[in-house]
Amino acid sequence: MKGSQNTWPWKLLLVAILLVIAAGTWGAVSKIDYKWRWYRIPQYFLYFAEDAQKIPFDGTVVSISTDQKSTTVNLLSETGEKVAVSIATDSLKVSEGEELFEDDTVGFDREWRLGPLTKGLWTTLWLSAISSVFALFLGLVTGLARVSQNVTMRGLAMMYVEVIRGTPLLVQIFIAYFFLGTVFDLSRNVCGIGALALFAGAYTAEIVRAGIQAIPKGQMEAARSLGMTVPQTMMDIILPQAFKKILPPLSGQFISLIKDSSLVSVIAITDLTKSGREIITSTFATFEVWLVVAAMYLLVTSLLSQIVFYMERRLAVSD
């Protein structure tokens, strides 16, 4: 049984299993008479907006000038006020010298705009990114405190980790928003980021602690025997080696953070999940929207995995 045995029957089996799952799902869905409306989804990523441009007063069209892309209409009110309105050339509805009343349409302004799915994804991304930075910082400090000689530091760090790991994130988000947010007058974004960072920070601390403790004692002794201080040794010797060891669990933690960030939608932060919910209320395309939302999370998390995989290979040069 050497490694080079024929694997393609097993790959065929894999494909067959996937097909069975897909067919089963398909069959089950067709039974409940759901009308798929995939065509309604793309507009929630990107759409072509058309806004009517109106005259803000009673007045006349003074002049119309056209360049390649747009047309500028200069308007003059009865009181001598001047306004220039920019519209798409083919949507021009007025001519020079024409008299208009307030709110008459001059023409339309068209542009591509990002839809709620894209905006929601963006919110999820920056929310997760900022939380990750804070979580990494918190985790590093707490992890170092966990291995420190100082009893107070160790006790504080342990309590923090235990409290956070022993309570559900959803409850923590509610406490952050309804209790801390009210008491300290914090915005929902601050509460959301704070809750996520505190949550991920506790887990990161345990990862950091394990990483530091996995470095042989001899490394600390060798550095100390050369006259290096504990902080110098941590920065130059222990943490770089620990970082390499903890990169896989750490990346797992941050992938979790991206997924967990969907919970902040309960405090009305319009992230990807909340955007999905909002779209469903206007389209009733429940199946399509949730599938798309899931696919978007999956895309982001797999991208992150790939980046980490690449970093691990780069860091492996000294092995």
| Site residues for another protein per CB under 8 A | 216, 218-219, 221-229, 232, 236-237, 240-241, 244, 317-319
- Strands, E assignment, the chain: 46-54, 59-66, 70-77, 82-88, 99-100, 105-114
Specify the residue, 80 or 227, whose C-beta has the smaller distance to another protein.
Answer: 227
Q: CA geometry: angle at 256 spanning 251 and 257, to 5°? A: 95
Specify the residue, 40 or 244, whose C-beta has the smaller distance to another protein.
Answer: 244
Rounded to a whole number of angstroms, the minimum distance from the CB of residue 305 to another protein is 23
Q: Sheet harboring 59-66: ordered strands across?
A: 82-88, 70-77, 59-66, 99-100
Rounded to a whole number of angstroms, the minimum distance from the CB of residue 238 to another protein is 10
Specify the residue, 90 or 319, whose C-beta has the smaller distance to another protein.
Answer: 319
Rounded to a whole number of angstroms, the minimum distance from the CB of residue 149 to another protein is 12
Rounded to a whole number of angstroms, the minimum distance from the CB of residue 252 to another protein is 22
Residue 304, classified by CB atoms within 10 Å of its CB into exposed (0-12), middle (13-18) or buried (19+), is: middle
Specify the residue, 163 or 222, whose C-beta has the smaller distance to another protein.
Answer: 222
Residues 144, 138: Cα–Cα separation, whole Å? 10
Residues 107, 89: Cα–Cα separation, whole Å? 8
Residues 6+ apart with CB under 8 A from 317: none
Specify the residue, 198 or 237, whose C-beta has the smaller distance to another protein.
Answer: 237
Residue 114 token pair: 């990002």
Specify the residue, 181 or 211, whose C-beta has the smaller distance to another protein.
Answer: 211
Residues 104, 23: Cα–Cα separation, whole Å? 55
The H or E element spanning position 33 is none
Tell me the β-bridge partners of 65: 72
Specify the residue, 33 or 319, whose C-beta has the smaller distance to another protein.
Answer: 319
Distances (CA, A) of 62 to 65, 68, 80, 106, 288: 10, 20, 11, 13, 50
CB 85 within 8 A of CB 72: yes
Rounded to a whole number of angstroms, the minimum distance from the CB of residue 233 to another protein is 9
Rounded to a whole number of angstroms, the minimum distance from the CB of residue 226 to another protein is 4
Rounded to a whole number of angstroms, the minimum distance from the CB of residue 240 to another protein is 5
